[in-house]
Amino acid sequence: MKEKVATAKLERQVIKSMRNYLEKERFMEIFPPKIVRASGACENIDTLFEIGVNGDFYWFRSKTPHRAYLSQTAQLYLEAFVPYLKKVYSVGPSFRAEPGNDNRHMTEFTMLEIEFAGNFKELLGYIEKVIYNVVKDILSLPAKIKKELKFNSATLKRLKKVKPVFPKITYEKAIKILNLSFGDDIKWRDEQKLLKKFGNQPLLITHYPNPLFNHGKEIEVEKFFNMIPDPENPKYVLSADLILPVSGEAVGAAQRVHRFEELKERLKNSKMFKRLEEKGGSLDDFYWYFEKVKEKSVPHAGCGFGISRILKFLKGEEDIKKAVAFPSNQENII
């Protein structure tokens, strides 16, 4: 139990550090719903947990009966507040029906998400500052507290090497280094190869393929529908993933499309929406979001920090189940 207590304390320390930084930067915390329509889904809509009552999956009947799910992301709910509050964030659980039992995925984990009125360059800066502040705050803790959190000298030495500005590489350059084909997904082993090349520093991979651009072939990489195309090269979107040593992808980020008609077309033509229709969903699942966009929208950007993967990186744990106090997957629920 001592290990669990230390892990719980570290989870608190990480969230506290992130909150302190964001509050200092005038972000306001929002408390989005956790039972949602498909507007609370990430791009992999097949991993949604569906909510039913006594076998009735159309229990919610606000206007017409519709299906409900456990939330995977608060992104769209946060976006709705950006035109009015400028900078917002939330902390809460994300539920993913990830099959099996491996050392990197869980069915429930904590996400800290931010959305703000701003651009892609500012977004990358916030990602660097949030993560660097977490590391800096841990290193500045009294020796007694570090010991309580089970940080040994080797782990602390590794964290001291983290620099305030992270190396950055485009998807196009990354696949050339890895000898992958355009459109291939960058897997965990590929991520570790890239990290080694960049001195095992946190690494930002940017400018992923635009999922709605005609690339002349099917692409494996899949990104959320409302990522904005790069104005200099619409073959790509203004998106980024933060890759952490040991852990892999820990943050997904992008500047968002904020014009209603473009947003609606991107959703309708996305793989995500095709799968939603197969599950019985429709544009009505996003009705409330579209109404908010039509009411008022501004250029904005945001990201989601996967706390369990950040903890995995901080502790140097190979198995994500050892990085959190209450791990859960398809084979383990309490």
Name residue 253's amino acid: A
* List of domains in the chain: 2-322 (3.30.930.10)
DSSP state of 322: G
5, two tokens: 């207590």
HSE-up (13 A, CA, CB side) for residue 17:
22
Rounded Cα distance between 190 and 168, Å, is 15
- Cross-strand pairs, 332: 329
Higher-pLDDT residue of 115, 47: 115
Q: What is the pTM of this model?
A: 0.95
Q: Name the nearest CA neighbour of 78 among 319, 289, 325.
A: 289
Name every residue whose Cβ is closer than 8 Å to that of residue 179 and which is 6 or more positions away in sequence: none
Helix-helix angle 307-315:120-139, to 10 degrees: 50
| SS3 state of residue 272 | helix
CA distance 142 to 136: 12
pLDDT at 102: 84
User: CA-CA distance, 131 to 163, in Å (whole number)?
Assistant: 10
DSSP 8-state code for residue 283: G
CB 312 within 8 Å of CB 320: yes
User: Which residues are CB-neighbours of 154 under 8 A, at least 6 positions away?
Assistant: 316
State pLDDT tens for residues 169-180.
999 999 999 999
For residue 15, the 8-state DSSP code is H
Task: Show the tokens assigned to 260.
Answer: 């209603």
pLDDT given for residue 116 in this prediction? 99
What span, in angstroms and rounded, lies between the C-alpha atoms of 111 and 94? 6
HSE-up of residue 193 (Cα within 13 Å, Cβ side): 12
Cα gap 246→244, rounded to integer Å: 6
Rounded distance, CA 193 to CA 220, Å? Answer: 20
Rounded to whole angstroms, the Cα distance separating 66 from 95 reads: 19
| pLDDT value, residue 64 | 61
Total Cβ atoms within 10 A of residue 212: 19
Rounded distance between C-alpha atoms, residue 302 and residue 116, angstroms = 6
Report which DSSP code applies to 66. B
Helix-strand-coil percent breakdown of the chain, rounded to 5?
40, 20, 40
Q: Residue 62: pLDDT above 70?
A: no
The predicted-structure confidence for 103-112, as pLDDT tens digits, reads as follows 889 999 999 9
- What is residue 246's DSSP assignment? T
DSSP secondary structure letters along 31-60: ---SEE-GGG--S-GGGPPEE-BTTBTT-B
The pLDDT value given to residue 305: 99
The pLDDT of residue 183 is above 80: yes
In the prediction, which pLDDT does 332 show? 82
Query: pLDDT tens digits for 219-245?
Result: 888 889 999 999 999 999 999 999 999
| Most confident stretch, 75-89, 262-276, 320-334 | 75-89
**Cα–Cα distance measured from residue 120 to residue 270, given in angstroms and rounded to the nearest whole number:** 22
Mean pLDDT value across residues 20-36: 98
